[in-house]
Structure 1
Amino acid sequence: MESLTTIYFVRHAHSVYSTDELGRPLSEKGFADAKRVAKRMEKESVDIVVSSPYKRAMQTVEYTAEYFQVEIEAIEEFKERVLASGEVSDFDTAIEKVWTEETFAWDGGESNIIAQKRGVRALFHLLNQYENKNIVIGTHGNIMVIIMNYFSKEYDFRFWKNIEMPDIYRLTFKGNQLQAVQRLWGDKNG
């Protein structure tokens, strides 16, 4: 029997907007959805739960970690990509530009290629450290899709625009080779 490692990318649920990226909490709807995420994950077998250190990502996988009785390990590399050092005047234009030109970065921000290297390095570390395990990663929409884009260009700007908050994708790996991707959220799945 071949050994496979399963990654569950969990994009954080709705949060209360503030400029405090690190401490921004889930909204009431976000907490309700985090409970739905845990209910969906009960159908899976989870060994490890890691998360971006951002509060909204941690809170989204908190109920899942409780259910499986595991601690959440914060991993800096799964934090959201930094778009720019300050506010951007037109978010939609700014985000589309970094997706269109993967090496372009706004002042103080990360290009897609730089954010991807950070995220993929952390993912490969987990795949090597926890081979044959099932790992939940609480993370953010942009960095999640940027990491998925490393394996297939179908995970692009248009794909990112259509993911939900929260959302769950199961990625199956043999070693560091992606074997399959399945969405576990949405009307039929969530």
Structure 2
Amino acid sequence: MVKQLYIVRHCKAQGQESEAPLTAEGQAEALALRSFFQQKRVDRIISSPFKRAIQSIEPLAAERGVAIEEDHRLKERELSDRPLSDWLEKLERTYSDKNLAYSGGESSHAATERAKAVIDERMQQDEEAVLLVTHGNLMSLILGEYIENFGFGEWKKLSNPDVYRINIESRSAERIWKEGEW
């Protein structure tokens, strides 16, 4: 059984589309992530296929010689398939109504379930430490499963990057990333 499960939010990026690369600041943050994990064991890295997620963890993966496994279930949740001028208000509603889905979008419940499937699969493996790289909205939904009342307000407080350690046995999570420390 996995003993350490880390969930990482990608570094600062140039946009929201799947091929948006990291900014220059985001590239520096990726190096900070590498330093942050210097003394931590990482046996496996599973990432969203979005470019910003991959680029965020590439320095660590290269240094450790650990392959980055892409898993589409860690991609960002799509709120809608059309532009929403009031997207922030609509997003906030999805935290109180987990089954609310907008045109062509995914509900909080559906997004959480696909992410939980990745975690459940990993828990059946023998790796010591697994690192999952994802996006802010999906990360907040995952954390809501382990931290009581983790919702929209907490999502707004997540940083790029951000790192939490999840304890599956105690069903808890703690933020271990300290902005500006690295």
TM-score normalized with structure 2 length:
0.93
Could you tell me which amino acid in structure 1 is paired with residue 5 of structure 2? I
C-alpha deviation, 1:150, in angstroms: 2.1
Say whether 1:93 aligns with 2:85.
Answer: no
The 8 Å contact of residues 147 and 173 in structure 2, kept in 1 or not, is answered as no
1:14 equivalenced with 2:9 (yes/no): no
RMSD in angstroms over aligned alpha carbons?
A: 1.7
Question: Any gaps of 5 or more consecutive residues in structure 2?
Answer: none
Instruction: Name the amino acid aligned to 2:78.
Output: V
SS in 1 for 2:6: strand
Q: Once the two structures are superposed, what CA deviation does each residue of 1:45-74 show, in whole Å capped at 9, x if it has no partner?
A: 111111000010011111111121111000
- Find the counterpart in structure 2 of residue 41 from structure 1: 37
Q: Deviations over 1:137-175 (max 9, x none)?
A: 11101111111212333321111111101101111234x
Secondary structure of 1:186's match? coil
Where do residues 125-144 of structure 1 align in structure 2 (5 Å cutoff)? 125-129=121-125, 131-144=126-139
Alignment match, 2:51: 55
The answer to whether residue 177 in structure 2 is matched with residue 185 in structure 1 is yes
Residue pair 2:44, 2:127 contacting (<8 A) in 1 also? no
- Counterpart Cα distance in 2 of 1:87 and 1:12: 23
Between the two proteins, what is the percent identity of the paired residues?
A: 30
Is the Cα contact below 8 Å between 2:2 and 2:122 reproduced in 1? no
Indicate the residue corresponding to 2:98 in structure 1: 102
2:72 aligned with 1:76: yes
Matches within 5 A, 1:105-184: 105-129=101-125, 131-174=126-169, 178=171, 180-184=172-176
Moved more, 113-122 or 88-97: 88-97
User: Residue by residue, what CA displacement relative to the aligned partner does 1:109-146 show, whole Å, maximum 9, x if unpaired?
Assistant: 011001111110111111112x3520111110111111
Q: Which moved further from structure 2: 50-59 or 120-129?
A: 120-129
Runs of at least 4 residues of structure 1 off by over 3 A? 187-190
Question: Residue 149 of structure 2: SS of its match in structure 1?
Answer: coil
Contact 2:112 2:138 in 1 (8 A): yes
